[in-house]
Chain A
């Protein structure tokens, strides 16, 4: 079957410093561009460096509310005009707040890139927060919070963050609580935008059927003169508190068939040397094949859950390293026990060479697939920038992956995972 492959470009061998266009404008905006003429479409993804870290406790959700309100009207277009321009050509654009950043994602036919860029620039620079739109949006956000309160997965996750990150900004949900969203005034949105939105640290990836130099020129023309001297530095993160043993919290949501479990602790930051060994180890623990060892124990052998896996978030700060599962309420204790015993095994003995080489082969082999779509490439470019990985990171990646040993994984696992110091959150009719 070797003859089956015919010559073609190998995408992953191309994604490097000689094929990524990276330009930093004098105002701080970083533009990343990479062409793909296989489809007549283009994506425009990126982020600004403001987020819910800046939210006051009594107005939690402010950064997210602000981001969601940007497209509700600008100095040049009202809500319907913005969406008429986008939707009439099949384009889309969305903005949302997260903890460290405000992200945006757009796509269009390549012929409509100017339109997409123009609307993005208008929304981040000149939003007017019309009062009727703000109130309409508030009702939508409050409804989302009411739905969240009924979602066993969301509530287990939110409660888990409150346990593991007590006293730390990561304990706070980015979408806030009903009372904090109620407390946010239109003026708060305008003020948050005025002081926190600016070009410094903004990153824009343009990937698709557009020449990279043209992409840079277009972004420069529309955002190159943006300035905001008030943009604050992000606040420093406090240390993560050490959990005092096993801390379990249950959220009772009546009338639910299934209970959700989230169990774990804080993991390494994305640009720590611990991250890659932890990520490979996590693959063995709860990802590889049918959700790794945890999937094997909880789903395949015990038949307790449709999903049972583990995840490592990484990120700018120490995001969580956690396992999650959805089970019948009568099986919660059994599932928690099985997951705990897999974590204990994971920090007691090294993963086998076979397990590790399986995951290593997968990490390397899946790269062409991960970089198949414009959005996949844009995501990869943004990761390079956000975590300062270097433009040749994906070229070095296979060697970095292959260099990880079972002992590296054991060492990292022991540093972060302590079976007797875990946060355990359970939500459902329990």
Chain B
């Protein structure tokens, strides 16, 4: 927990972060690329996620079937995630087996085949992944809210991509996206666990120094203009359950207002948990739970705040109580926000938010994979200092800060309201 961090940039621009943790014979190895759905334009939405899938389809050295088996055989665990701002691949392995992960990630940074046959079968796999998500009312609602919230910025579309693009993206598009973005100067390598940093760094240099720096990836990020007024969207679909999602445009993770927003989220809907490998806690004493669930307007409430490069969304999702309407719940939600608009929160509430964050950090530190995750994750939208100074920054937030962010960001003009209306329940009570 108190180990120091080694941070080095190789001559080809690859940023390397190492953290020694000698509590268990495990090493967790992550490579992060600064590419995600934020870097996609209409016609190729979903391509970053699809490229991530193709990274499991083999290189001349490690053919498709061999990769999975090699990691599993050594008792390792691996996976990959594509997000708005980034794509990451990780392997957590017994410490004496980590060289396999080092070699295969260095190899597939440049040598993936993108075999046309594999591209074809992966197309249907990804379409199937999207269809699985479409089965969920909350995916459908979230997709529409996101699209309405962002008219210009590429946060407009879901990470999985639009079906139209999944049907038409070609092998050439995928390979071009891969070669442009999978270059050392667009990547961060983060390793935590049971190793000696000098030995690890020497091995990383040996494997990566031969990979040349690439051109800086072309970026077309169109900033979202200020929202001129409230936006509303309705999704109709099967089921009996009504959902409401209220989304607000929020500051980027590096903005000074982001930390007051973390506290605000904690007060309104319980603390968001940024850990990848450790669960959160309940939110039954949060202001919105008391106002909405305890008063039986909703059966659940969930708040979501994301740490992103550009301003994204804070969303509150309600499962509406079967005997109430979304309008009634919305009115109470607005009342609760107005309450903070008018009166700052108490110091006790702030202290509670800080203690909750401290506990979530402790749970997260049990896992070496989670500690390695943070090393790279924080670098994707800020720097690792963002993580190490997190608790101090939360503790510095004042009641007035929280009130200020409520007044600045939770305004109707900054608001998108989405409702999922079940088609089997059209005669909902008034």
- Please report A residues at the B interface, Cβ cutoff 8 Å: 1-11, 36, 38-41, 79-80, 83-84, 86-92, 94, 107-109, 136, 139-140, 142-143, 146-147, 149-152, 253-258, 288-290, 296, 299-307, 326-328, 358, 361-362, 364-369, 372-375, 428
Q: Does B95 contact A94, Cβ atoms closer than 8 Å? A: no
Q: Does B74 contact A365, Cβ atoms closer than 8 Å? A: yes
Q: Which residues of B contact A255 (CB under 8 A)?
A: 237-238, 423
Expressed in whole angstroms, the Cα–Cα distance for A105 and B132 within the complex equals: 30
Q: Does A139 contact B362, Cβ atoms closer than 8 Å? A: no
Q: Which of B24, B270, B280, B299 is in CB contact (< 8 Å) with A139?
A: B299
Which 10 pairs from chain A and chain B are nearest by CB? A365-B75, A90-B359, A303-B121, A289-B68, A255-B238, A257-B131, A306-B129, A303-B124, A257-B134, A258-B131
Q: Taking CB as reference atom, which chain B residue is nearest A110?
A: B362
Please give the distance in Å from A371's CB to the nearest CB on chain B. Answer: 8
Expressed in whole angstroms, the Cα–Cα distance for A142 and B359 within the complex equals: 33
Q: Does A143 contact B322, Cβ atoms closer than 8 Å? A: yes
Q: Does A87 contact B126, Cβ atoms closer than 8 Å? A: no
Q: Does A152 contact B135, Cβ atoms closer than 8 Å? A: yes
Q: Taking CB as reference atom, which chain A residue is nearest B423?
A: A255
Q: Given known contacts A90-B358, A91-B281, A362-B73, is B199 in contact with A4 (CB within 8 Å)?
A: yes
Q: Does B194 contact A5, Cβ atoms closer than 8 Å? A: yes
Q: Does B135 contact A256, Cβ atoms closer than 8 Å? A: yes
Q: Does A327 contact B283, Cβ atoms closer than 8 Å? A: no
Q: Taking CB as reference atom, which chain A residue is nearest B163?
A: A257
Q: Given known contacts A4-B196, A303-B123, is B239 in contact with A39 (CB within 8 Å)?
A: no
Q: Which residues of B contact A139 (CB under 8 A)?
A: 296, 299, 321-323
Q: Which residues of B contact A39 (CB under 8 A)?
A: 1, 362-363, 365-366
Q: Which of B24, B241, B294 is in CB contact (< 8 Å) with A11?
A: B24
Q: Does A8 contact B22, Cβ atoms closer than 8 Å? A: yes
Please give the distance in Å from B144's CB to the nearest CB on chain A. Answer: 15
Q: Which of A8, A79, A90 is in CB contact (< 8 Å) with B281?
A: A90
Q: Which residues of A contact B95 (CB under 8 A)?
A: 4-5, 8
Q: Which residues of B contact A36 (CB under 8 A)?
A: 366
Q: A83-B284, A150-B137 are in contact. List 6 more A-B contacts (CB 8 A).
A: A4-B98, A84-B285, A90-B360, A150-B240, A306-B125, A365-B94
Expressed in whole angstroms, the Cα–Cα distance for A143 and B123 within the complex equals: 35
Q: Taking CB as reference atom, which chain A residue is nearest B20?
A: A6
Q: Which residues of A contact B279 (CB under 8 A)?
A: 92
- Please report B residues at the A interface, Cβ cutoff 8 Å: 1, 22-26, 56, 64-65, 68-69, 72-77, 92, 94-99, 120-132, 134-135, 137, 194-196, 199-200, 203, 237-241, 270-271, 277-286, 290, 293-294, 296, 299-300, 319, 321-323, 352, 355-360, 362-363, 365-369, 423
Expressed in whole angstroms, the Cα–Cα distance for A45 and B271 within the complex equals: 22
Q: Does B240 contact A149, Cβ atoms closer than 8 Å? A: yes
Expressed in whole angstroms, the Cα–Cα distance for A152 and B136 within the complex equals: 10
Q: Which residues of B contact A326 (CB under 8 A)?
A: 128, 131-132
Expressed in whole angstroms, the Cα–Cα distance for A187 and B322 within the complex equals: 24
Q: Does B299 contact A143, Cβ atoms closer than 8 Å? A: yes
Q: Taking CB as reference atom, which chain B residue is nearest A360?
A: B73
Q: Does B322 contact A361, Cβ atoms closer than 8 Å? A: no
Q: Which of B72, B75, B125, B203 is in CB contact (< 8 Å) with A1?
A: B203
Please give the distance in Å from B145's CB to the nearest CB on chain A. Answer: 19
Q: Does B121 contact A300, Cβ atoms closer than 8 Å? A: yes
Q: Taking CB as reference atom, which chain B residue is nearest A254?
A: B238
Please give the distance in Å from B300's CB to the nearest CB on chain A. Answer: 7
Please give the distance in Å from B323's CB to the nearest CB on chain A. Answer: 7
Q: Which residues of B contact A375 (CB under 8 A)?
A: 366
Q: Which residues of B contact A257 (CB under 8 A)?
A: 130-132, 134-135
Q: Does A4 contact B1, Cβ atoms closer than 8 Å? A: no
5 A-B residue pairs with Cβ-Cβ distance under 8 Å, sorted by A, are A6-B194, A6-B196, A36-B366, A94-B282, A258-B131
Q: Which of A10, A89, A91, A146 is in CB contact (< 8 Å) with B25?
A: A10
Q: Which residues of A contact B194 (CB under 8 A)?
A: 5-6, 8
Q: Taking CB as reference atom, which chain A residue is nearest B123?
A: A303
Expressed in whole angstroms, the Cα–Cα distance for A257 and B128 within the complex equals: 9
Q: Given known contacts A39-B1, A150-B238, A365-B97, is B281 in contact with A299 (CB within 8 Å)?
A: no
Expressed in whole angstroms, the Cα–Cα distance for A38 and B3 within the complex equals: 12
Q: Does B363 contact A87, Cβ atoms closer than 8 Å? A: no
Q: Does B132 contact A9, Cβ atoms closer than 8 Å? A: no
Q: Which residues of B contact A369 (CB under 8 A)?
A: 26, 75-77, 92, 94
Q: Does B366 contact A41, Cβ atoms closer than 8 Å? A: yes
Expressed in whole angstroms, the Cα–Cα distance for A91 and B363 within the complex equals: 10
Q: Does A299 contact B356, Cβ atoms closer than 8 Å? A: no
Expressed in whole angstroms, the Cα–Cα distance for A89 and B296 within the complex equals: 26
Q: Which residues of B contact A38 (CB under 8 A)?
A: 1, 23-24, 365-366
Q: Given known contacts A139-B299, A257-B135, is B362 in contact with A109 (CB within 8 Å)?
A: yes
Expressed in whole angstroms, the Cα–Cα distance for A140 and B301 within the complex equals: 12
Q: Which residues of B contact A327 (CB under 8 A)?
A: 128
Q: Does B75 contact A361, Cβ atoms closer than 8 Å? A: yes
Expressed in whole angstroms, the Cα–Cα distance for A300 and B196 within the complex equals: 38
Q: Does A368 contact B132, Cβ atoms closer than 8 Å? A: no
Please give the distance in Å from A398's CB to the nearest CB on chain B. Answer: 11
Q: Does A358 contact B72, Cβ atoms closer than 8 Å? A: yes
**Could you say which of A83, A149, A302 has the most chain B C-beta atoms within 10 Å of its C-beta?**
A83
Expressed in whole angstroms, the Cα–Cα distance for A256 and B129 within the complex equals: 13
Q: Which residues of B contact A5 (CB under 8 A)?
A: 25, 95-96, 194-195
Q: Does A108 contact B359, Cβ atoms closer than 8 Å? A: yes
Q: Which of B24, B99, B125 is in CB contact (< 8 Å) with A9?
A: B24
Expressed in whole angstroms, the Cα–Cα distance for A84 and B281 within the complex equals: 12
Expressed in whole angstroms, the Cα–Cα distance for A90 and B74 within the complex equals: 36
Expressed in whole angstroms, the Cα–Cα distance for A303 and B122 within the complex equals: 6
Expressed in whole angstroms, the Cα–Cα distance for A328 and B130 within the complex equals: 10
Q: Taking CB as reference atom, which chain B residue is nearest A208?
A: B366
Expressed in whole angstroms, the Cα–Cα distance for A210 and B129 within the complex equals: 43
Q: Which residues of B contact A140 (CB under 8 A)?
A: 299-300
Q: Does B26 contact A372, Cβ atoms closer than 8 Å? A: yes
Please give the distance in Å from B417's CB to the nearest CB on chain A. Answer: 21
Expressed in whole angstroms, the Cα–Cα distance for A302 and B118 within the complex equals: 10
Expressed in whole angstroms, the Cα–Cα distance for A146 and B26 within the complex equals: 43
Q: Does B128 contact A290, Cβ atoms closer than 8 Å? A: no
Q: Taking CB as reference atom, which chain B residue is nearest A209?
A: B362
Q: Given known contacts A8-B23, A289-B68, is B366 in contact with A373 (CB within 8 Å)?
A: yes
**Could you say which of B22, B126, B423 has the most chain A C-beta atoms within 10 Å of its C-beta?**
B22
Q: Which residues of B contact A288 (CB under 8 A)?
A: 69, 72
Q: Does B125 contact A90, Cβ atoms closer than 8 Å? A: no
Q: Does B241 contact A143, Cβ atoms closer than 8 Å? A: yes
Expressed in whole angstroms, the Cα–Cα distance for A83 and B423 within the complex equals: 36
Q: Which residues of B contact A365 (CB under 8 A)?
A: 73-76, 94, 97
